[in-house]
Amino acid sequence: MTKVTLSLRLNGEPAETAFAPHKTLLEVLREDLALPGTKHGCELGECGACAVLVDGRPVLSCLYLGVEAEGRSVTTIEGLAEGPELHPLQRTFADLGAAQCGYCTPGILLVAKALLDRTPKPSRPQIKEALSGNLCRCTGYLQIFDAVEQAIVDMTAGGSGPSARGGDGGGR
Amino acid sequence: MNVVGKPRRRVDGRAKVTGQTRFADDLVLPRMLHARLARSHLPHAEIESIDAAAALAHPGVRLVLTGKDMPVAYGILPVSHDEHALCLDRVRFVGDPVALVVAVDEDAAAEGVERLRVEYRPLATVASPAEALATPSPRIHDYGDQGNIHKLVSMEFGDVATGFAAADEVFDDVFFFQGNTHLAIEQHASLAAVDPDGKLCVWSSTQTPHYLHRALTKVLGIPAAHIRVIATPNGGGFGGKSDPFNHEIAVCKAALVTGRPVKICLSREEVFYCHRGRHPVEMRLRTGVKRDGTITAMHLQTLLDGGAYGSYGVASTLYTGALQTVTYRIPTYRFDGCRTFTNKPPCGPKRGHGTPQPRFGQEAQLDKIACRLGIDPADLRLRQLVEPDSLTANFMRVGTIGLRECIEKVVAGSNWRARRGKLGFGRGLGLACSSYLCGAGLPIYWNDLPHSGVALKLDRSGGVTAFCGATEIGQGSDDVLALLVAEVLGIDPFDVRVVTGDTDLGPVDLGSYSSRVTLMMGNAAIQAAERARALIAAAVAEKLAVPPGRLVFADRRVFDAEDPARGTSFQDAVVLAEAAHGTLGTVGSYKPPTSAAKYKFGGVGPSPAYSYTAAVLEVEVDPDAGWVRVVKVWIGHDIGRALNPTLARGQVEGSVYMGLGEALMEESAFRRLPPKRSAALVHKFPSLLEYKSPTTLEMPDVETYLIENPDGAGPFGAKEVGQGPLLPIMPALANAVFDAVGVRIDEIPVTPEKVRKALDAQKQGGAGRHGPARFPDVPWPEPLRVPTPWEGGDGRASNEKPRKRDQQPHAPIAPEVVR
């Protein structure tokens, strides 16, 4: 099958690849761009594990063709931290038990980031609504809500430094 | 305590939030091939022929395997080795795999599957336990207790007839608990390769690498020492990755045949066919009580829909009757259990393994008893709690029991006494309790070996590495291992590197099932760490000229308790120890105490400790739509000690969540296609679109109370928390619905349709109940009769033929005698 080429901005850097045109963005990210942090769970847009940001908006990459990302900016979990510095959401998720098995976590973190980018101080109902397309079978969601709310506090305080919570692993 | 009891980031937390946890399907090897399974579209048929010529002619296809390539049977339990990696001559459910197609990529493999020509001769199908009982032939398997009955057990502890005769009232109820599935978001995946040195290596999303190891050596005929199983971190398990699976064995064979790495990742639909989920269970429960609510006798009958294979089924069957006795005093008890084969995906262990179904019946019936006798449901339970350090009628040894505190907490938190029955029509409160194991007291293969082993390596770097076969499935077992070692050695968990889930690198741990890891691995870890501490203490004591017993290990230092300034850094202490003793390494192991239950089938139920839980649910019921909304949950869990409260709370809340899914919406239901369309039994909901599970919008607030009353059997007193808190949710919900609208839903899930049916029936003067009408007739055998401890029983049955030994001899990893 003839491959198509794709040029995009991936996690802040230019990237190019070529693949069979029917491949989803999820498959292109995992198989052609060596970014396995984005997960698959249902193949039909129900679980949210494959969520990534395209031009800052959450997209279910299992329902989005790779070719549609041409010229766009895509953010995956691998691009959420700035260098070695975790995003505040990543810190609070790690510190407050919001990730158990961690499989749904990348998708949830990106959807939460998109929420905070557009609504810096969401209420809990707004957080619930925003994350209602992401299934988590481990946590019961409550520690996820807590982590999002703590990240809002941390970001408002302007602190991107290590979180006060957690043991010695905190902030690294 | 240095670390124990402090809320902390788990040691693998950073990996998970950066997307760096490597799950099985994330792994890629050079020259890797991809595989897909061809699965039966018929629920029961003989395989007449498989023609792979067209598939092999596909330019991308490299190999097609069929049943005859791996004809050796296997299964998780030694008594039911009834599976083949690929079906040999018969398929038993829609989705049973018949061939593996290996190709250069997944698309080519899928095209190869399409090109296979499989001829079947259909056989009559069995859809339900009732049909299985009525249809002894054709048999789905040529073993089992009779016809299509897989397992039939009956046992009586004390004389229930006398117990019922002493009762003022006998309650007789029939319940049904529909099956459901784990729905881990990670689909099962495996990657097999031949190592550079010629040995087999497989990475797999398995909760039980040790048992996969056993299955592989048996089926492939390779010495276990030449097979390495690496359990990758599981993207959720919940019991669904506890069996050795077809795909795991088939990709290993494919890697051996092709000499190339072979990977498979199941589709979501295939995960529904793998199943091993909650058994659908029909139950009849008769309980005799005095007017004050005191239980005099209980007789429980369970009928399990096992699906097409044995899986853990014999254990599941026994678990439906094992733990009724560990919460409230039950002086006489009879249990009859029956598991049937049906032509549906095999059922197995899901969180709570066999115990949530009868616990639902028991707790729902207690609510009816309380209601009829005019006793507060909380008081009915509080009056007859099992005593600590006691034996139950069926010889379960209870150590600590914090159930009283659990009940008191949720009663106070929910303002139960002021609010129950007083919230008005449409709103209600329900209470239920439960208990669960902290690890199965007996291993799957009875032997004298440790259930868990931990090895530590320490060196002059000051670093400590902990090795253990335990499997991280999200529950936090890696964190438990690191934190316990750190606690004993006075360092930070971040200083400990853990190497887990790898049969080559770590001592055997039996796996992440039966809530066993914290207690069993934990005790092994403490033993290994205490031995390392003793070596270090000896060296430091000599250097400081103080008795070793005076040394304190804390804050990454080793120092004199009487003069804390006198001491050394932990790293310097390890250097001293390495100089004094040579290379440093210690091991620890754990084996549970001998069980008091000596009767046949007494191997299921005993545990070193039992956790306890009580929950109150507040619901809002829309009587017009039948819709049930859970407003709030109060839950108290007797955890012994919370090693990392952050993770403990997560396990409780996650259990509540999963329990709510089971209580309200989740079901693995099947329908029979019309005869002209093959009469196949097909899964109604083999996708995430149709199988409903709670989202963020359905999740209520949860008030969690961790009751810490350290149990001597657990590491620093810890008991389990991964499964027990799920158990009270389903009955508490049904009880709350009754409090809200006055109808009994004796069936799980409690769907709007059932609530409406019960309300309609009530309006028309009926009982206001929805549930099964009767319990099927089962040919129960003569029960084993076991005198209770208070009758002077010794744990043996009085009418049991003497068995050769109470314990099987040591069973090494080798082909076992099956069935």
In degrees and rounded to multiples of 5, residue A54 shows phi and psi of -115, 120
Cis amide prior to B138 (ω within 30 degrees): yes
Summarize pLDDT for B681-708 with one digit per residue, the tens. 888 889 998 999 999 999 999 999 999 9
Greatest extent of chain B over all pairs of C-alpha atoms, in Å: 89
Name residues whose C-beta falls within 8 Å of residue B30's C-beta, 6 or more positions apart in sequence. Answer: B261
pLDDT score, position B810? 43
Residues of B with Cβ-Cβ distance to A41 under 8 angstroms:
185-187, 268, 688
Q: List the beta bridge partners of residue B559.
A: B552, B567
Per DSSP, which regions of B712-783 are E strands?
Answer: 744-745, 747-748, 769-770
How crowded is the C-beta side of B586, counted as CA atoms within 13 Å?
22
* pLDDT band at residue B672 under the 50/70/90 scheme: confident
Measure CB to CB from residue A102 to each of B183, B474, B688 and give the nearest one: B474
Query: Measured over all CA atoms, what is the biggest interatomic distance in chain A, rounded to whole angstroms?
Result: 53
The whole-angstrom separation of Cα B255 and Cα B258 is 5
Cite the beta strand spans of A26-165 per DSSP E. 51-54, 57-60, 73-75
State CA B213 to chain mean position distance: 19
Contacts 24+ apart (CB under 8 A), B752-757: B752/B622, B752/B625, B752/B626, B752/B627, B752/B628, B753/B626, B754/B626, B755/B621, B755/B623, B755/B626, B755/B627, B755/B628, B756/B625, B756/B626
Percent of chain B with pLDDT over 70: 97
Contact A36 B699 (CB under 8 A): no
Give me the pLDDT at residue B673, please.
78
pLDDT band at B817 (very low <50, low <70, confident <90, very high): very low
Residue in B2, B4, B17, B646 to test binding to A, most A beta-carbons within 10 Å: B17
Residues on chain B touching A99 (C-beta within 8 angstroms): 13, 16-17
**Residue A118, pLDDT score:** 97
Partner B contacted by A138 (CB < 8 A): yes
Q: Taking the CA atoms of B447, B449, B450 and B453 in sequence, report the sign of the dihedral they define.
A: negative
- Taking phi over 0 as left and psi of -120 to 50 as alpha, with beta for the rest, A85 belongs to beta
Residue type, A101: C
pLDDT of residue A130: 98
With an 8 Å Cβ cutoff, is B234 touching chain A? yes
**pLDDT tens, residue by residue, B448-498:** 999 999 999 999 999 999 999 999 999 999 999 999 999 999 999 999 999
Q: Measured on CA atoms in the order B276, B277, B280, B283, is the torsion positive or negative?
A: positive
E strand map for B10-75: 33-39, 45-51, 61-66
Name beta bridge partners: B718: none
Tell me, what's the pLDDT at B802?
74
Closest CB to A132: pick one of B492, B687, B695.
Answer: B695
Tell the burial category of B620 from Cβ atoms under 10 Å away from its Cβ (0-12, 13-18, 19+). Answer: middle
The answer to whether the Cβ–Cβ distance between A172 and B699 falls below 8 Å is: no
Residue B324 is given by DSSP the state: G
Contacts of A129 in chain B (CB under 8 A): 696-697
CB atoms within 10 A of CB B338: 27
The pTM is what?
0.96
The average pLDDT across B135-161 equals 97
A-proximal residues of B, 6-35, CB under 8 Å = 6-23, 25-26, 28
Residues contacting residue B85 through CB under 8 Å, at least 6 positions apart:
B67, B70, B74, B219, B246, B249, B250, B253
User: How does DSSP classify residue A62?
Assistant: G
Closest chain A residue to B4 measured between Cα atoms?
Answer: A167
Asked whether B732 and B430 are in contact (CB, 8 A), the reply is yes
Instruction: For Cα atoms B60, B62, B64, give the angle at the middle one, nearest 5 degrees.
Output: 120
SS3 B151: strand
Interface list for A 34-73 with B (CB within 8 A): 34, 36-44, 46-47, 49
The type of residue at B542 is E
Q: Are B436 and B515 in contact (CB under 8 A)?
A: yes
The predicted pLDDT at position B726 comes to 98
The amino acid occupying position A118 is R
Per-residue pLDDT of B24-72, as tens digits, reads 999 999 999 999 999 999 999 999 999 999 999 999 999 999 999 999 9
- Name the band, by pLDDT with cuts 50, 70 and 90, for residue B803: low
* Cβ–Cβ below 8 Å for A137 and B494: no
Compute the C-alpha angle B639/B642/B648, nearest 5°. 85
Task: Give how far B237 is from chain A: nearest CA, Å.
Answer: 9
Do B13 and A95 lie within an 8 Å CB cutoff? yes
Whether residue B685 lies within 8 A of chain A, CB to CB, comes out as no
What is the spatial distance between Cα A114 and Cα B254, in angstroms, rounded to a whole number?
43
A49–B653 C-beta distance less than 8 A: no
B19, B235 contact by CB (below 8 A): no
> In the predicted model, is pLDDT for residue B232 greater than 50?
yes
pLDDT of residue B674: 78
Mean pLDDT of chain B: 96
**Chain A residues within an 8 Å CB radius of B689:** 42, 44, 46
Residue B812 has pLDDT above 80, yes or no: no
> From the CA of B186, how many Å to the nearest CA of chain A?
6
How many interface pairs between A and B have CB atoms less than 8 angstroms apart?
Answer: 197
Q: Are A102 and B21 within 8 A, CB to CB?
A: yes
Q: Is the complex ipTM more than 0.90?
A: yes
Q: Which of A4, A139, A143, A142 is nearest to A68 (CA)?
A: A4
Chain B hits for A84, Cβ within 8 Å: none
Quickly count: other Cβ atoms within 10 Å of residue A60's Cβ. 23
Predicted confidence (pLDDT) per residue in B734-752, tens digit: 999 999 999 999 999 999 9
Least Cα separation, residue A71 to chain B (angstroms)? 25
Measure Cα distances from B668 to B174, B305, B344, B349, B502 in Å.
Answer: 20, 11, 10, 14, 33
Please give, rounded to a whole number of angstroms, the shortest distance from the CA of B75 to a CA of chain A: 27
Q: Put the strands of the sheet holding B584-590 in their side by side order.
A: B496-500, B464-468, B452-458, B584-590
How far is it, in rounded angstroms, from Cα B610 to Cα B616?
20
Integer Cα distance of B453 and B511 in angstroms: 11
Angstrom distance (rounded) from CA B790 to CA B106: 63
User: By CB neighbour count within 10 A (0-12 exposed, 13-18 middle, 19+ buried), where does B529 fall?
Assistant: buried
B253 touches A at CB < 8 Å: no
Amino acid present at B278? R
Q: How far apart are CA B546 and CA B566, in angstroms?
A: 10
**Within an 8 Å CB–CB cutoff, is residue B674 touching chain A?**
no
- Structure confidence by residue, pLDDT tens digits, A107-161: 999 999 999 999 999 999 999 999 999 999 999 999 999 999 999 999 998 654 4
Confidence of residue A164 (pLDDT cuts 50, 70, 90): very low
